[in-house]
Structure 1
Amino acid sequence: MTKWKLDGEGPLFKQFQRTVIQQIVEGEFAPGDRLPSEAELMQRYALSRQTISKALSELAEQGLLERNKRAGTTVAKGFRERFLMPVKDISVEVGERGGVYEYRILALKKVRNGDGGLRWNDLPMGAPFLYVEVLHLADNTVAQHERRFINLTSVPKAADQTFEREPPGMWLMRNALWSWVRRRITAVNATEEVARLLQVPVGAACVTLERRLYHQEEAISIVYFIHPGDRFALDGDFGLAVSEHPLETTGRPHIA
């Protein structure tokens, strides 16, 4: 419990929520584990009962916790299935449908933020990140093109990865801590370059999915997927409303 500290940013109940989420994500509290009593939490953090109760009740409403007057507050038993599984790698989705999955690494390089026109506004200029471009196939048909940025300050071991054994999305889910994800979906028409990558006619309807992965306020990864419109299915989403971090779409690198 020594790791439970308020970060000093934003409203107190949001700070407290972030400490709770961090401990759950890092495994200090497993599904079904009981949190300390409100009285103990009040004393430990010098917070009012109202602040503690508001924070825990909101997390319970979001499905992260379960509240019971007799049993106290526990981590929801379905937490992992409900919140971690929606961030599935396409390889898992293809396998679940009974298809044959393949992927090809098209580009892989370490860059500094701002170099070569690659700009990630969540990171300071010059910060190191890994850039990877992947083509995903289902039953020998292109299902998705991926452009991914991984923050090497947050996930330093990504710097040595070749992703020959598993695609970057799956590797990241196993090797990086994260607490929430934000998605944005838009419809576009295929440019010549997109048409070539996805093997569709120029002007064909496509869907782009932007996914930003965070651990508390720290950017972990940002990825841009583009799918042929007739090969896209929307999955679930996950986002605990505990961050003060701005999420405007910025600095998107274009495929064409």
Structure 2
Amino acid sequence: MNQPLHEAIRARLEADILAGIYKPGEKLPNETQLAAEWNCARMTVSRALGALAEAGMVQRRKRAGTFVARRTVQETVLDIRDVAAEVRASGREYAFRRLARREAGASADEAAALEVAEGAPILQVIGLHLADGGPHALEERLINLDAAPAAARERFEDQPPGAWLLDHVPWTEAEHGISALAADGQTAKRLGISTGSPLLCLERKTWASGACVTSARFLYPAGAQRFTARLRQPRG
């Protein structure tokens, strides 16, 4: 059974957005241009763009056009947080240091974390977020290269992968977990603390239109980080 044309258009635009061909905030070709490219009616294009808008990947603005969705930083405690913005907001100088980078086929545990088949292409990045030159947080991240293929071209030597993903791969779903644990020897050494010291652990997953893009873990020395949000009860 052939794929409906509007689905083919949606899938192609979604793939281009995930690959970074269209970046957050960038305007997509208009309906007339897309209809000419695909040799179809504007209504077909409109249906494809509507599906992308419903998934949160684009924003349609009357008379202005269709734009790749932007995501704001630190909207609430459970939103996608930019560690660099956190550090700079506290008046400290931010830097990132990559500790390890590995491209490989997913192990069983990595496949489970990213919801992919064992052996699927993944990128693992481990890095240290610094505040005024000292350790602020340790990041351990897995990226699904089928969902974010452009990440394979990035070295992430001094640019954190989370910030790159925010700029290049619009997410449609996110899941967070916060827990406490004790630092093992290697983690303690990287963070400059004693083995067994308490850590605040933030675990995060993001999806784009049903595909898991990344799974990350941030480890903060206890007492060094505070997550806050102010919520308003809707009137009714």
The TM-score with structure 1 as length reference comes to: 0.61
Answer yes or no: is the 8 Å Cα contact 1:24–1:30 preserved in 2.
Answer: no
| CA distance in 1: counterparts of 2:144 and 2:110, whole angstroms | 17
Q: Match for residue 19 of structure 2?
A: none
Aligned partners of 1:181, 1:129: CA distance in 2, in Å? 19
What letter corresponds to residue 25 of structure 1 in structure 2? G
CA distance in structure 1 between the aligned counterparts of 2:95 and 2:49, rounded to whole angstroms:
42
Residue of structure 2 equivalent to 1:157: 150
Separation in 2, partners of 1:227, 1:80: 19
In structure 2, the CA distance between the partners of 1:117 and 1:223, relative to structure 1 (3 Å rule), is closer
Cα distance between partner residues in 1 of 2:104 and 2:146: 12
8 A contact 1:186–1:208 mirrored in 2: yes
8 A contact 2:87–2:131 mirrored in 1: yes
Cα deviation 1:190-248 (Å, max 9, x = unaligned):
222221111111221111111001113210110011110011222559xxxxxxxxxxx
Alignment of 1:179-218 (within 5 A): 179-218=172-211
Q: Distance in 2 between matches of 1:79 and 1:89?
A: 10
SS at match of 1:231: coil
Query: In 2 relative to 1, CA 183–81 (structure 1 residues): closer, same or farther, beyond 3 Å?
Result: closer
Counterpart for residue 223 of structure 1: 216
Looking at structure 2, the residues matched to 94 and 228 of structure 1 have their Cα atoms a distance apart, in angstroms, of: 14
For residues 211 and 109 of structure 2, what CA distance do their matches in structure 1 show?
A: 24
CA distance in 1, matches of 2:73, 2:125: 27
CA 1:235–1:171: 2 relative to 1, 3 Å = farther
Contact 1:86–1:235 (Cα < 8 Å) also in 2? no
Q: Is the 8 A contact 1:134 1:147 kept in 2?
A: yes
Aligned to 1:134: 127
Please give the alpha-carbon distance, in whole angstroms, between the structure 2 residues aligned to 1:121 and 1:215.
12
- State whether structure 2 residue 136 is matched by structure 1 residue 148: no
Mapping of residues 42-53 of structure 1, within 5 Å: none
For residues 83-138 of structure 1, the C-alpha deviation after alignment (integer angstroms, 9 at most, x for no partner) is 7x931221111111111111110111111111797753511111111110001111
What is the CA–CA distance in structure 2 between the aligned matches of 1:165 and 1:140, rounded to whole Å? 13
CA contact (8 A) 2:74 2:81 kept: no
Alignment gaps of 5+ in structure 2 = 1-45, 65-70, 231-236
Secondary structure at the aligned position of 2:98 is classed as strand
Match of 2:56 among 20, 25, 32: 25
Paired amino acid for 2:116: L
Query: 1:93 is paired with a residue of what secondary structure?
Result: helix
Amino acid aligned to 1:226: L
Distance in 1 of aligned mates of 2:229 and 2:150:
28
What SS does the aligned partner of 2:188 have? helix
Identity among equivalent positions (%) equals 26
CA contact (8 A) 2:84 2:94 kept: yes
Q: Deviations over 1:172-207 (max 9, x none)?
A: 100002112110111011222221111111221111
Closer, same or farther: CA 79–177 of 1 in aligned 2, 3 Å:
closer
Question: How many residue pairs end up in the alignment?
Answer: 179
Q: Distance in 2 between matches of 1:96 and 1:117?
A: 33
1:101 aligns with: 94
Q: Distance in 2 between matches of 1:81 and 1:116?
A: 30
Give 2:126's aligned amino acid. E
What does the per-residue CA deviation read over 1:28-68, in whole Å, with 9 as the maximum and x for residues that have no partner? Answer: 4259x9xxxxxxxxxxxxxxxxxxxxxxxxxxxxxxxxxxx
